[in-house]
Amino acid sequence: MASYDVIVIGSGPGGYVSAIRCAQLGLKTACVEGRDTLGGTCLNVGCIPSKALLHASHQLHEAQHNFAKMGLIAEDPKVDWAKMQGYKTDVIDGNTKGIEFLFKKNKIDWLKGWGSIPAAGQVKVGDDIHQAKHIIIASGSEPSSLPGIAIDEKTVVTSTGALALDKIPSKLVVIGAGVIGLELGSVWNRLGSETVVLEAMDEFLPMADSRVSRDALRIFKKQGLDIRLGARVTGTEVKGSGKKKFVAVTFQDKDGEHVAEFDRLIVAVGRRPYTEGLLAPDSGVNLDERGFLYVNDLCATDAPNVYAVGDVVRGPMLAHKGMEEGIMVAERIAGHKPMVNYETVPSVIYTHPEIAWVGKTEQQLKADGEDFRVGMFPFVANGRALAANDNDGMVKVIADAKTDRILGVHVLGAQASELIAQAVISMEFSASAEDLGLIMFAHPTLSEGMHEAALGAAGHAIHMINKPSRGK
C-alpha cells in the first residue's frame, strides 16, 4: 500500500494536467490510468487523432479543388488510407509519449489499471489499495448512443470507431450535426464518401450565433455535405455479411418516413460522463440529475478532499476547460486561491472554415433584453484571406451599448480557433470594443478581421462600409 498527497483518477487533459501541476507544487502525486497509454480520450481517440485526419483531408481538398487556381498543376492526388492511418498513429504516439516523459520528469507515479474509491482517502487499482490525502476524479466521458442502435465499432460506430474504419466507405451516414458529427462528416466527405448528416433538431448549431450558423450551413452544403435537419432516426438494421455488410437507416422528416442504405453509420449524438465502477455507495460523492458528479464552483465534491474536473462534471465537455479546472484544483490543494472564469471558455468546431466563439450570442442577448451593438467584418474584404484563396466567413463582435464592454465574439473562417484567443484575452480583462479597436494589428493578417469588427461596433471600420447594427 502506497501513500500519496494526491491521487488523480484518469490521465486525460484534466487529469494529466492536474497531476503535473500537483507535482510542480511539491505534492507527492500518482495518476491512475487503465489504458496502455496516457492522455485519455483526447489524445488517443478524440481531439488529437481527429485533428490529424481533419488536417490531412483538408490538404487533399486543397489539392483537388484550389491548387490549380493558384497555378499549382499536379496529378490528381490519391488517398493511401493505410498510410494516412499510420500518420494519425504517429501523431498520437508523439503526444502520449510526451505525457509519459513529463510524468517521469515530474516524478509522478503511473498506477496502471482502472481506479475506484472504496472508502474515504482510498483509491483502489486492481487488487491494490492506495492512501491519498486528496483525490481528483478526472474519469472523463464516453460516447452516447440512441435506443435501439447496436454499436459494433465496425459497421455502426461511435467517434472512436469512425477514426479507424477499415476502408473509405462509398456511402456514409452521420447521426448528429453537432461538433463531433460535423468534424467527422467533413473528414469522410473530403476523402470521397457520399456523406449524409441526419439531425433531429430543426435548427442548425443552435449553440452558435445564428448568423454564423446560417452561413456555415450554406458553406458546408456547398462543400458536398448533405445535411438534413428535422430528420429523426427511428431505426437501424445491419444487413449482409463479411465485407458486404451495410446498414439500413429509417428516419422521419417533414416529408414522411424514409429508408436509406449506407456502408457505415457514425453515431455522433454527444457524450456522457463516465463513472462506471468508480464510486462505492458510501463514498460521499454524489451525482446530479444528469449523471455528472456534483461539484461546487471550485470543483469540490460533497466528500471531503475529493474533487472532480473535466467531462465528468457540469459545464461544456471541452479539454481546455478540464485543464484549467485541474490546475485550479491542484493549486487550491497547495493553498493558493485561483478561480476558473466560466464566462470566457472558448468553443471551437474544427471544420473548414472553422467556427469559434466566446461569450454570448446575439440571440441570447435579445432573449435577455440586453442593449448591444454589433460589428461584423467579412473575410472577403481581408487582404490575407484573399491572398490565401480562403475568404469564407467573418468576424462578429458584440458589445454592450452603454459600456462598450465586449459581450461575445464569433468567428467563422480559416484559423478561427487561433483568432478566438484574442477575444478570450480581451474579455478576460473586461476590454471594450474600443480597446480592441485601438490595438495595432499586423498587416496583412487574418487578425485584422477582429480589429475591423471591433471598430465596426462603433461604426468606425475602415475597410468596409459601416452598417450600424443594434439590438435589444
Joined together, the cell numbers standing for residue 239 give 444487413
Listed in sequence order, the residues at least 6 apart from 90 whose beta carbon sits closer than 8 Å to its beta carbon are none
Nearest to 328 by CA among 348, 299, 354: 299
Q: What angle do CA 229, 235, 236 make, to 5 degrees?
A: 105
What single DSSP character describes residue 35? S
Joined together, the cell numbers standing for residue 452 give 475591423
- Exposure string of 9-20, with b = 16+ CB inside 10 Å and e = fewer, is bbbbbbbbbbbb
Give the separation between CA 300 and CA 339, rounded to whole angstroms: 12
Cβ burial, residue 115 (10 Å; 0-12/13-18/19+): buried
Run of H or E including 365: helix 362-368
Give the separation between CA 273 and CA 140, rounded to whole angstroms: 6
Nearest to 352 by CA among 211, 182, 227, 208: 182
Helix (H, G, I), strand (E, B) or coil at 129: strand
- Residue with cell string 461546487: 296
Q: What are phi and psi of 133, to 5 degrees?
A: -70, -35
Give the separation between CA 397 and CA 406, rounded to whole angstroms: 7
- Exposure string of 131-160, with b = 16+ CB inside 10 Å and e = fewer, is ebebbbbbbbbbbebbeebebeeebbbbbb
Strand-pair partners of 258: 251
Evaluated on CA atoms 295, 296, 297, 299, the torsion sign reads negative
Catalytic one among 55, 58, 65, 443? 443
> What's the Rg (C-alpha) of the chain?
24
Give the separation between CA 32 and CA 467, rounded to whole angstroms: 56
DSSP per-residue string spanning 55-91: HHHHHHHHHHHTTGGGT---PPP---HHHHHHHHHHH
443 is catalytic: yes
Nearest to 142 by CA among 242, 278, 40: 40
The catalytic residues are 443
